[in-house]
Structure 1
Amino acid sequence: MTETDPAPAPSAVLWDMDGTIVDTEPYWMTAQGELVASYGGTWTHEAAMTLVGSGLDRTARILQEFGVQMEGGAIIELLSSRVMEQVSERAPWRPGAVEMLRELHDAGVPQALVTMSIGRMAHHIAGLLPFEPFAAVVSADDVTEMKPHPEPYLRAADALGVDITRCVAIEDSVTGVASAVASGAAVVGVQHLLPLDDSGAHVIWATLDGRRAAELGAMLVRA
Structure 2
Amino acid sequence: MDGTLVDTEPYWMATETEIAETHGGTWTHEDAMALVGNELIVSGEYIRNRVGMQQSAAEIVEMLLDGVVAQVRHAVPWRPGAREMLLALHAAGVPCALVTMSYQRLVAPILEHLPPETFRVIVTGDQVEKGKPHPEPYLTAAAALGLDPADCVAVEDSPTGVRSAEAAGCRVLVVPNHVPVPAAPGRHFRDTLEDLTPADLGALG
TM-score scaled to structure 1, two decimals? 0.88
Deviation at 1:200, TM superposition (A): 5.8
Q: Secondary structure at the match of 1:69?
A: coil
Q: Give the corresponding residue for 2:156.
A: 171
Matched, 1:79 2:68: no
Question: Which residue among 118, 140, 143 is the counterpart of 1:155?
Answer: 140
Question: For structure 1, which segment, 64-73 or 105-114, has the greater mean C-alpha deviation from structure 2 after superposition?
Answer: 64-73
Query: Whole-Å Cα distance in 1 between the matches of residues 99 and 158 of structure 2?
Result: 13
Matched, 1:33 2:23: no
Partner deviation per Cα, 1:128-167 (whole Å, 9 max, x = no partner): 3355411111011111111011000000011111111111
Aligned CA distance change for structure 1 residues 201 and 39 (closer, same or farther; 3 Å)? farther
Query: Whole-Å Cα distance in 1 between the matches of residues 186 and 65 of structure 2?
Result: 28
Amino acid at match of 2:69: M
Structure possessing the higher relative contact order (Cα contacts under 8 Å, 6 or more residues apart) = 1
Partner deviation per Cα, 1:90-149 (whole Å, 9 max, x = no partner): 110001100000000000001111001112212232223355411111011111111011
Partner deviation per Cα, 1:18-38 (whole Å, 9 max, x = no partner): 000000000000101111111
| 1:37–1:43 contact (8 Å) kept in structure 2 | yes
Q: Give the corresponding residue for 1:43.
A: 27
Query: Whole-Å Cα distance in 2 between the matches of residues 136 and 127 of structure 1?
Result: 15
Q: Secondary structure at the match of 1:83?
A: helix
When the two chains are superposed, the root-mean-square deviation of aligned CA atoms in Å is: 1.3
Q: Give the corresponding residue for 1:135.
A: 120
- Which consecutive segments of 4 or more residues in structure 1 shift more than 6 A? none
TM-score scaled to structure 2, two decimals? 0.95
Query: Whole-Å Cα distance in 2 between the matches of residues 200 and 18 of structure 1?
Result: 25
| 2:5–2:83 contact (8 Å) kept in structure 1 | yes
| 2:72–2:109 contact (8 Å) kept in structure 1 | no
| 1:18–1:24 contact (8 Å) kept in structure 2 | yes
Aligned CA distance change for structure 1 residues 86 and 200 (closer, same or farther; 3 Å)? farther
Query: Whole-Å Cα distance in 1 between the matches of residues 160 and 147 of structure 2?
Result: 23
Query: Whole-Å Cα distance in 2 between the matches of residues 75 and 214 of structure 1?
Result: 42
Question: For structure 1, which segment, 57-66 or 96-105, has the greater mean C-alpha deviation from structure 2 after superposition?
Answer: 57-66
Q: What is the total number of aligned residue pairs between the two structures?
A: 204
| 1:190–1:207 contact (8 Å) kept in structure 2 | yes
Deviation at 1:194, TM superposition (A): 1.3
Q: Give the corresponding residue for 1:63.
A: 47
Q: Give the corresponding residue for 1:213.
A: 198
Q: Secondary structure at the match of 1:144?
A: coil
Gaps of 5+ in 2: none
Query: Whole-Å Cα distance in 2 between the matches of residues 127 and 62 of structure 1?
Result: 31
| 1:95–1:207 contact (8 Å) kept in structure 2 | yes
| 1:181–1:200 contact (8 Å) kept in structure 2 | no
Gaps of 5+ in 1: 1-16
